[in-house]
Amino acid sequence: MEHTLNEIYEKIKTIKEEVDKVEFRVMSTKSHLDTLEQNLERINKEVLEGFHKVCAKINHLEEEIKKVATALEKIK
């Protein structure tokens, strides 16, 4: 009986160790996901800011092209 109890105890101990490993992996994965989410939010913000800058430059170039077109029309 004592031998059986020791076997059960060892199995429970092994299961507890495995559960602890899984818990650590879950916490580590959660930490990685949180970091990933923060990085994605930052990237999203930077992409939107970059898009607005590009749009502003395109608008500026359109104005410059209109000025050049007007100047060419006056020359003709």
CA separation for the pair 73, 33 (Å, rounded)? 59
Task: Report pLDDT for 3.
Answer: 82
Side-chain-facing half-sphere of 38: CA atoms under 13 Å: 6
pTM greater than 0.75: no
Q: What is the mean pLDDT of each successive set of 10 residues along the chain, which is 76 residues long?
A: 89 98 98 98 98 97 96 88
3-state SS assignment for residue 72: helix
Task: Report pLDDT for 36.
Answer: 98
Dihedral of the alpha carbons of 31, 37, 42, 43, in degrees to the nearest 10: 120
Task: Report pLDDT for 47.
Answer: 98
Task: Report pLDDT for 76.
Answer: 77
CA separation for the pair 68, 45 (Å, rounded)? 35
